[in-house]
């Protein structure tokens, strides 16, 4: 019997982040459907490959909540086992642009 996989969960801000990165000429590939703790986005920028995990911004009270603001168990295990670059968490298009380009506005 084949395993049944549920649809990939995409954080609300992911599409805006992808659009912002593509607007500056970055290559962006969604990895959300892979699951198993793999980061959400594979980004190529000027010869550099980055792994981005998209999270929603913290709630109105600030801080880190229990509803997806931190890496989950499978994400932590995947990141620890990965022998490439670090997984970078981003919460907005602006933050993604800074992380990818290294330039602040």
CATH number at residue 82: 3.40.1350.10
71: in domain: yes
39: in domain: yes
91: in domain: yes
Residue 31 lies in domain: 14-101
Instruction: Calculate Rg over the CA atoms of the chain.
Output: 14
5: in domain: no
Enter the pTM of the model: 0.80
Confidence of residue 10 (pLDDT cuts 50, 70, 90): confident
Kind and range of the H or E element at 51? strand 48-54
Distance, CA of 45 to CA of 54 (rounded, Å): 17
Name the domain count of the chain.
1
Residue 12 has pLDDT above 80, yes or no: no
Question: Looking at the chain, how many residues does it have?
Answer: 105
Q: Could you read off the pLDDT of 33-88 as tens digits, one per residue?
A: 998 999 999 999 999 999 999 988 766 555 554 555 677 889 999 999 999 999 99
85: in domain: yes
Q: Could you read off the pLDDT of 92-105 as tens digits, one per residue?
A: 999 999 999 987 65
Distance, CA of 46 to CA of 33 (rounded, Å): 25
Largest Cα–Cα separation, the chain:
52
State the pLDDT at residue 60: 59
């Amino acid at each position: 019997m084949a395993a049944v996989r549920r649809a990939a969960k995409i954080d609300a801000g992911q599409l805006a982040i992808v659009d912002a990165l593509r607007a500056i000429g970055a290559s962006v590939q969604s990895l959300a459907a892979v699951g198993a703790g793999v980061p959400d986005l594979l980004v190529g920028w000027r010869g550099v490959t980055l792994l981005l995990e998209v999270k929603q911004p913290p709630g109105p009270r600030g801080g880190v909540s229990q509803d997806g603001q931190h890496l989950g168990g499978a994400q932590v295990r995947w990141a620890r086992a990965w022998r490439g670059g670090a997984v970078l968490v981003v919460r907005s298009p602006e933050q993604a642009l800074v992380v990818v380009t290294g330039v602040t506005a």
